[in-house]
C-alpha cells in the first residue's frame, strides 16, 4: 500500500514542475512588460519636457515662487554645510576620482561585472543627460528673478546634471550593495553608513541645487527622472545579459549533444 500511494505523488511532483516553470516565466514576462511600459512613459515624459522647455527656456512663475520659498527657509548651518559638501563631491573632477577609486576597489575583489556596470551606467547616463542639456540650452537662474545665486555656472540648466549624476552614481552603488556578491561579503556591514549616505544624497540633491540658486525646480525634477531612466536601463542590462548568455550557452550545448547523438546513431 505504501508503494502504491508513493507512485502517484512522485508523478504529480514531476508533472507539476513544468507547470510551475511556465507560471514563473509568465509572471516574469508580465513584470517585464509592465516595467518596459513604465520606462517608456518616463522616456516620453523627459523627451516632451525637453521639447517644451527648449521652446520656453525662461523660468515658469511656479519655479520662481518655489525657489524663493525654498531660499527663505532657515536651514541650520551644519545641515547646509553637509548639503554643500555632498554636492561638491559629485562635481566632475571629484566624481571622476571617486569612480576610479571604486573601479580599483571592485577589480581588487574580482568584481569585474559590477565594475563594468557602475562605469558604463554612470558614463552613458551622464553623456545622454549632457546631450539633452545641449538641445534644451536653458539658462541658469540669475538674480534678476530676486533669488540668491551662490555660484556662477555656464553649463546648461535643464536637466540638472548634479541630480542626474547623483541618481546614477549613488543609485548604482546602492543597487550593487544589495546584490551578489556584495550581499555575501563578510564585511558588508561596513557599507551601511555608505548606503545611508547614498540615500541621503539622492533625496536632498534637488533641494540643495534650488537652495543654492543653481537650478530651477523643473531642472532638478528632469535630472532626477533622467538619471533614474538610465539607472534602471543599466540594471536591466546588468541582469539580462548574463541570462541571455546562459540561455545561449545552454542552447549550444543542447545542439552539440543532439549532433553527437545523431552521429552515434
121-173 pLDDT, tens digit per residue, is: 999 999 999 999 999 999 999 888 888 888 767 778 999 999 999 999 999 99
What is the rounded CA–CA span in Å between residue 6 and residue 8?
A: 6
> What confidence tier does 2 reach under pLDDT thresholds 50, 70, 90?
very low
How far apart CA 42 and CA 30 sit, in angstroms, is 18
Q: Give the contacts of 72 (CB within 8 A, at least 6 positions apart).
A: none
For 135, the grid coordinates are: 538641445
What pLDDT is stored for residue 25 in this prediction? Answer: 80
Query: Quick check: 211 and 152 in contact, CB under 8 A?
Result: no
pLDDT, tens digit (0-9, with 9 covering 90-100), for 122-133: 999 999 999 999
User: Would you say 192 and 165 are in contact if contact means Cβ atoms under 8 Å apart?
Assistant: no
Its pTM stands at: 0.84
Q: Which helix (H) or strand (E) holds 84?
A: helix 77-88
How far is residue 136's CA from residue 50's CA, in Å, rounded to a whole number?
Answer: 6
Cβ-proximal residues to 255 (8 Å cutoff; 6+ apart), any chain: none
Decide: 136 and 158 in contact? Cβ < 8 Å: yes
Amino acid at each position: 500500500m505504501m508503494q502504491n500511494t508513493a507512485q502517484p505523488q512522485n508523478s504529480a511532483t514531476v508533472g507539476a514542475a513544468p507547470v510551475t516553470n511556465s507560471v514563473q516565466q509568465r509572471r516574469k514576462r508580465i513584470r517585464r512588460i509592465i516595467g518596459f511600459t513604465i520606462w517608456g512613459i518616463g522616456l516620453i515624459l523627459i523627451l516632451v519636457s525637453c521639447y517644451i522647455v527648449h521652446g520656453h527656456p525662461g523660468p515658469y512663475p511656479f519655479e520662481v515662487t518655489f525657489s524663493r520659498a525654498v531660499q527663505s527657509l532657515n536651514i541650520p548651518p551644519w545641515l547646509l554645510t553637509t548639503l554643500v559638501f555632498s554636492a561638491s563631491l559629485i562635481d566632475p573632477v571629484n566624481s571622476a576620482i571617486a569612480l576610479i577609486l571604486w573601479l580599483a576597489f571592485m577589480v581588487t575583489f574580482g568584481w569585474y561585472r559590477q565594475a563594468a556596470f557602475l562605469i558604463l551606467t554612470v558614463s552613458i547616463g551622464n553623456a545622454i543627460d549632457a546631450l539633452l542639456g545641449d538641445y534644451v540650452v536653458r539658462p541658469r537662474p540669475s538674480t534678476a528673478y530676486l533669488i540668491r545665486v551662490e555660484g556662477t555656472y555656464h553649463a546648461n540648466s535643464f536637466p540638472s546634471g548634479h541630480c542626474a549624476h547623483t541618481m546614477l552614481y549613488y543609485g548604482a552603488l546602492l543597487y550593487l550593495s544589495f546584490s551578489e556578491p556584495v550581499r555575501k561579503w563578510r564585511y558588508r556591514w561596513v557599507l551601511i553608513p555608505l548606503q545611508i549616505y547614498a540615500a541621503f544624497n539622492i533625496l536632498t540633491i534637488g533641494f540643495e541645487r534650488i537652495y543654492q540658486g543653481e537650478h530651477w525646480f523643473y531642472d532638478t525634477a528632469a535630472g532626477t527622472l533622467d538619471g533614474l531612466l538610465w539607472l534602471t536601463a543599466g540594471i536591466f542590462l546588468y541582469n539580462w545579459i548574463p541570462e541571455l548568455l546562459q540561455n545561449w550557452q545552454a542552447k549550444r550545448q543542447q545542439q552539440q549533444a543532439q549532433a553527437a547523438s545523431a552521429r552515434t546513431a
